[in-house]
């Protein structure tokens, strides 16, 4: 095979991966429209377009703009963040099981929320007509959850740097801190009232409906900067897959890359978790599904994990809203129900984990 | 080309290298010999800039490696660690990764052409678009060498590149390394445990004992006495069809 043939074959492989990206993006757009159309009230496509063109005369204008579009946008941004954070953590922690929750970010957030609800009294909850438990001061809960998850990351980085910040030491520190925060949350719940315990449990259910436009904007802004950093470092992530020493010999500053990537991934996840609650499996499964199609090339895996994570969470939210309509299930239940068997299937196929 | 000046290194209190110095020329394969723990890998890592010596320096092209910087060094020195596992990327992408120090914002036509040329040169073209996880140990080792060559380095450092290979692949990889060293005028340093492979393929020999240079030079330095001192084993060095063959004594 001549060099010219190899060049052409390589360009063909790149074209295929690019086309695959266009397919994911198109599918995301289709599902986005679907998510605007379906729900307890089905809205015709014509009416959706009319409302999206800011036709305030449309009877569905407020349903589309204030409810469904905000919800769909929230799902796409949160899913994109979780997907890309999963892909990055699997790389820098050199562990296929790594996800935003492996290092204890969610347990830290759950502890923060429990602290706000039980200790700070943010959990003055009440039962609505539908017997739903709601939080009266959700921003305090979100802020404490955010602080809790960031504290986890700070702890892990400090603990790991006491000796040497290897991928293994970060994972082990994460396991230890997860257990610690889990125990601390249980301790708080043990002395809490029934309503406070219910509110804490309610908070942990990941639910897209908790966020409005303001929260979405927060998630979007927090997603952009880390995403740009990850895109810039795509070659460094490719190098790191071959080991720290190879990456270093290719000019990668491994320690800095690992710390920055962890902090930025944790930031994305912390913001999403504090606004929406715990949404599992998107960060774990999205990159693995993509690896089956495009391999582990981070030039493509970074942007596609974001697109595919958004797509998966949006799809899960549609299922959450329709499977037991008019009851809207928390999306975290759907992602875990669907994600666990999917992950097992990927595990059994095995080769590219 | 490569000069190591009075390098000393310790992991904490444990002294690993002590006042090591030597100079290597272009177009030569040097083998680094010594027992496990004698400091071979540490020395290789110091030359590649992965570790910083507590004392002494490494000079490449009349410049200390600290002055060259990590980016510059990655264009000059290619390092291959002891063990490599495949990654879910194609052989082409794995070799293209070697271009990383040269790649600007995006991969250029020159990067792609260089990658193709090296893939052809090493005979990897038939599995260029296979995943590296699907390759045999010998094939993977060639891919790793190809990636190192894609860096267009002047110095090639290899830590036990044939330890996990069968005899056929060992011969192939060693022949390949000698060929590219000569044709590309590289300075190649290889850590080897197989003395016979070293005797057959290397031009120069650096024997390390307890972190110090015991001997450095051509084949003549690898004497039964030197091997006894360094490896604490009795051997015979026989001549067979013009080759020096090291035979361990049974007693």
ipTM metric: 0.89
Across the interface, of B49, B100, B113, the residue whose CB is closest to A3 is: B113
| Residues near B105 by beta carbon (within 8 Å), at least 6 away in sequence | none
Residue A295 at interface with chain B, using a CB cutoff of 8 Å: yes
Cβ atoms of residues A115 and A108 within 8 Å: no
pLDDT in tens, A284-318: 889 999 998 899 999 999 999 999 999 999 999 99
pLDDT band per the 50, 70, 90 thresholds, residue A124: low
- Minimal Cα–Cα distance from A224 to chain B, Å? 19
What pLDDT, on the 0 to 100 scale, is given for residue A128?
Answer: 52
Nearest to A312 by CA among A35, A20, A16: A35
pLDDT at A329: 85
Task: Kindly report the backbone phi and psi dihedral angles of residue A148, in degrees, each rounded to the nearest multiple of 5, phi listed first.
Answer: -60, -45
What is the rounded distance in angstroms from the CA atom of residue B251 to the CA atom of residue B243?
Answer: 24
The pLDDT tens digits of the residues spanning B43-97 come to 999 999 999 999 999 999 888 998 888 888 999 999 999 888 889 999 999 999 9
3-state DSSP assignment of residue A189: helix
8 Å CB contact of A245 and B126: no
CA dihedral of A294, A297, A303, A306, whole degrees rounded to 10:
70
Q: Tens of pLDDT along A227-259?
A: 999 999 999 999 999 999 999 999 999 989 988
User: Residue B100 is nearest to which of A3, A235, A295, comparing CB atoms?
Assistant: A235
Residue B93 with chain A: CB contacts under 8 Å: 238, 295, 297
Which pLDDT belongs to residue A22?
Answer: 97
The secondary structure of chain A in percent helix, strand, coil, rounded to multiples of 5, reads: 75, 0, 25
**Strand B2-11, strand B14-24: pairing:** antiparallel
Distance from B10 to chain A by nearest Cα, in Å?
Answer: 16
Does the pLDDT value for residue A107 go beyond 60? yes
Helix count and strand count (H, E) for chain B: 8, 12
Could you give the CA distance from residue A80 to residue A86 in angstroms, rounded to a whole number?
Answer: 10
Report the residue of B50, B69, B97, B119 to disrupt the A interface, i.e. the one with the largest count of A CBs within 10 Å: B97
Q: Is the CATH code 3.50.50.60 the one for domain B2-82+153-248?
A: no
A·B CB contacts under 8 A: 95
More confident residue, A40 or A67: A67
Instruction: Give the mean pLDDT of chain A.
Output: 85
Separation of alpha carbons A100 and A109, rounded Å: 12
Whose structure tokens read 């996800």? Answer: A99
Best residue in A247, A249, A289, A293 to probe B by mutation, most B CBs within 10 Å?
A249
Distances (CA, A) of A41 to A169, A315, A319, A321, A325: 50, 17, 14, 11, 10
- pLDDT tens for A126-169 read 555 554 555 666 678 888 888 888 888 888 777 766 666 677 77
Domain architecture of chain A: domains with CATH:
3-349 (1.10.3470.10)
């Amino acid at each position: 095979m001549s060099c010219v043939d190899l060049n052409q074959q390589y360009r063909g492989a790149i074209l295929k991966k690019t086309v695959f990206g266009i397919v994911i993006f198109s599918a995301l757009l289709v599902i986005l429209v679907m998510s605007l159309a379906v729900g307890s009230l089905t809205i015709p496509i014509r009416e959706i377009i009319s409302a999206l063109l800011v036709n305030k005369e449309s009877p569905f204008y407020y349903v589309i703009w204030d409810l469904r579009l905000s919800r769909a946008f929230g799902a796409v941004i949160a899913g994109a963040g979780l997907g890309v954070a999963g892909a990055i953590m699997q790389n820098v922690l050199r562990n296929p099981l790594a996800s935003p929750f492996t290092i204890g970010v969610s347990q830290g957030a759950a502890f923060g929320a429990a602290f706000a609800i039980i200790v700070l009294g943010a959990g003055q909850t009440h039962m609505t007509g539908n017997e739903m438990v709601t939080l009266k001061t959700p921003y305090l809960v979100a802020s404490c959850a955010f602080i809790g998850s960031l504290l986890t990351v700070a702890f892990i980085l400090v603990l790991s740097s006491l000796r040497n910040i290897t991928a293994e030491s970060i994972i082990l520190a994460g396991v230890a801190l997860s257990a610690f925060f889990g125990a601390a949350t249980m301790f708080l719940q043990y002395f809490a009232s029934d309503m406070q315990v219910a509110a804490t449990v309610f908070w942990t259910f990941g639910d897209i409906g908790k966020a409005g436009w303001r929260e979405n904007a927060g998630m979007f802004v927090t997603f952009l900067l880390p995403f740009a950093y990850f895109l810039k470092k795509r070659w460094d992530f490719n190098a790191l897959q071959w080991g720290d020493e190879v990456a270093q010999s290719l000019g990668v500053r491994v320690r800095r890359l690992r710390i920055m990537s962890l902090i930025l991934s944790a930031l994305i996840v912390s913001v999403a978790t504090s606004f929406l609650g715990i949404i599992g499996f998107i960060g774990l499964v999205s990159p693995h599904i993509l690896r089956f199609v495009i391999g582990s090339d981070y030039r493509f895996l970074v942007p596609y994990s974001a697109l595919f994570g958004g797509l998966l969470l949006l799809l899960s939210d549609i299922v959450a809203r329709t499977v037991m309509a008019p009851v809207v299930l928390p999306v975290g239940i759907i992602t875990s129900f669907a994600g666990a068997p999917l992950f097992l299937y990927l595990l059994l196929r095995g080769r590219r984990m | 080309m490569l000069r190591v000046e009075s390098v000393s290194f310790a992991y904490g209190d444990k002294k690993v290298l002590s006042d090591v110095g030597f100079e290597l020329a272009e177009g030569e394969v040097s083998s680094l010999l010594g027992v496990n723990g004698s400091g071979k890998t540490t020395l290789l890592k110091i030359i590649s800039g992965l570790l910083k010596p507590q004392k002494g320096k490494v000079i490449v092209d009349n410049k200390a490696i600290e002055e060259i910087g990590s980016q510059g060094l990655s264009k000059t020195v290619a390092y291959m660690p002891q063990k490599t596992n495949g990654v879910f990327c194609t052989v082409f992408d794995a070799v293209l990764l070697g271009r990383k120090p040269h790649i600007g914002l995006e991969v250029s036509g020159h990067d792609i052409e260089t990658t193709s040329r090296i893939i052809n040169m090493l005979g990897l073209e038939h599995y260029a678009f296979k995943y590296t996880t699907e390759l045999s140990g010998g094939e993977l080792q060639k891919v790793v060498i190809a990636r190192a060559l894609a860096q267009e380095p002047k110095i090639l450092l290899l830590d036990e590149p044939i330890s996990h290979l069968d005899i056929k692949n060992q011969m192939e990889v060693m022949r390949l390394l000698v060929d590219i060293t000569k044709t590309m005028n590289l300075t190649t340093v290889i850590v080897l445990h197989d003395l016979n492979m070293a005797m057959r393929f290397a031009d120069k020999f650096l024997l390390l004992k307890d972190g110090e240079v015991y001997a450095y030079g051509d084949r003549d330095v690898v004497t039964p006495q030197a091997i006894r001192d360094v490896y604490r084993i009795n051997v015979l060095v026989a001549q067979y069809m013009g080759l020096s063959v090291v035979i361990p004594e049974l007693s």
